[in-house]
Amino acid sequence: MASYAPAKGQGHVYILSKQAAAQVGLVDLATLSVAGSRPRTVAQSAWLLGPLHNPIPQDCYLAQITVPVEILQVYAASRGLTDTNTLFPSPAEDPMLKALLGLPWEEIKTASSLPGLPAFKRTLELPEYHPSFVKIAPAQIAFYRGTRILDTQDSIDGDSQGGIFVEIPDMVLYGSIQQARPLRFPSIEKLVEENGTVAFEAPVLIKHASLGHLPLYQKGVGVMPRGPGLFEVCELTVEHPGLELTGAGFIRGWTYRKQSNGVWAREARSSDCTCDNAIVHDQHISALHIAEDFLDEPEAFD
């Protein structure tokens, strides 16, 4: 739990130039709003600066104001900022925070761990300003112990052909390519040709906010052969209520055809996913680019 209490002494306010900060990277987080709710991005009129590989450039700073804390407290109160909740809304008001607190928990593995009595911590450690203790956790909270699909399942729903699993680092799912690249995947094509469907499985569970009410998680991506030079790229999803991985399946994806120059091109088919969300399927392609790099040079991911 985190909290704020009145203090005495000197307070500091830094004024930054939006124009200079924009050269580094500046995002207005207050635009990330959800109708009928009050996420902290809106409550704080928040901005995000970065990505930063070094300290904030000096030309971003316009001023530093140093005054007694009492003056800042009076100033905040005059604008209705009287308690923690005004800047840090509870999960009941903030669906973004609720989604982040709903991420899978990961097992704590130490030399002092007790056999048969696993302990877990949040995957993302967030300071909390409101009690969130529950005596019995609901099924949609996953306590993940590194279980692989083949540890509990003989096959994957949605794959009638069978194939192989390829274990990949979590960077394949969490990472993103820095610039657009031609869709060339010779190493992946070779795996598909030799084995049929290829399921790239990561050692993590990824929770999509839209599925927060269900115990469903992304665990990888899949590539399925759909004919000569034709490939379906889809999401590998698992069902993981509580402690157990109880199911696995492929979510319908988008289809791509290999052109004469070796580059894949989107070829819409009636059997494709109908979500019409290019961002989701572009992320699958981004994961394939990183998976291709991993197959070519696995030691670079150590």
| Residue entry with tokens 């291709």 | 292
Phi-psi label, residue 233: left if phi above 0, alpha if psi -120 to 50, beta otherwise: beta
For residue 67, pLDDT beyond 90: yes
Cβ 84 vs Cβ 28: under 8 Å: no
What residue ranges do the domains of the chain occupy?
Answer: 10-86, 143-301
Q: 125-144, pLDDT tens digit by residue?
A: 888 898 888 888 889 899 99
Average pLDDT of the segment spanning 56-71: 96
pLDDT bracket for residue 116 (50, 70, 90): confident
What integer pLDDT is reported at residue 33 of this predicted model? 86
Residue 183, pLDDT > 90, answer yes
From 138, 137, 143, 136, select the one nearest 118 (Cα to Cα).
Answer: 143
pTM value is 0.82
Q: What is the pLDDT of residue 176?
A: 84
Q: Token digits for 220?
A: 């990888």
* 173 vs 5: which has the higher pLDDT: 173
264/229 Cα distance (integer angstroms) = 9
DSSP letter for each residue of 185-215: -HHHHHHHHHHSEEEEEEEEEE--GGGTTTT
- d(C-alpha 219, C-alpha 238), whole Å: 7
Asked whether residue 160 carries a pLDDT value surpassing 80, the answer given is no
pLDDT at 152: 95
Residue 266: how many CA atoms within 13 Å on its side-chain side?
A: 11
Within its chain, how far is the Cα of 12 from the centroid?
33
- Per-residue model confidence as pLDDT tens digits over 215-244: 999 999 999 999 999 999 999 999 999 999
Where are any strands of DSSP class E within the chain?
Answer: 10-16, 26-28, 47-49, 61-68, 105-107, 120-122, 143-144, 163-167, 197-206, 216-227, 230-239, 247-258, 264-266
Looking at the DSSP assignment, which residues form a beta bridge with residue 222? 199, 234
pLDDT at 137: 87
d(CA 79, CA 77): 5
pLDDT score of 48 more than 80: yes
Q: State the pLDDT at residue 87.
A: 93
pLDDT tens digits, 11-33? 999 999 999 999 999 999 999 88
The C-alpha R_g of the chain, in whole angstroms, comes to: 24
- The predicted-structure confidence for 238-285, as pLDDT tens digits, reads as follows 999 999 999 999 999 999 999 999 999 999 999 999 998 999 999 999
pLDDT band at 80 (very low <50, low <70, confident <90, very high): very high
CA atoms within 13 A of residue 276's CA, in its CB half-sphere: 0
Mean pLDDT of 96-103: 88
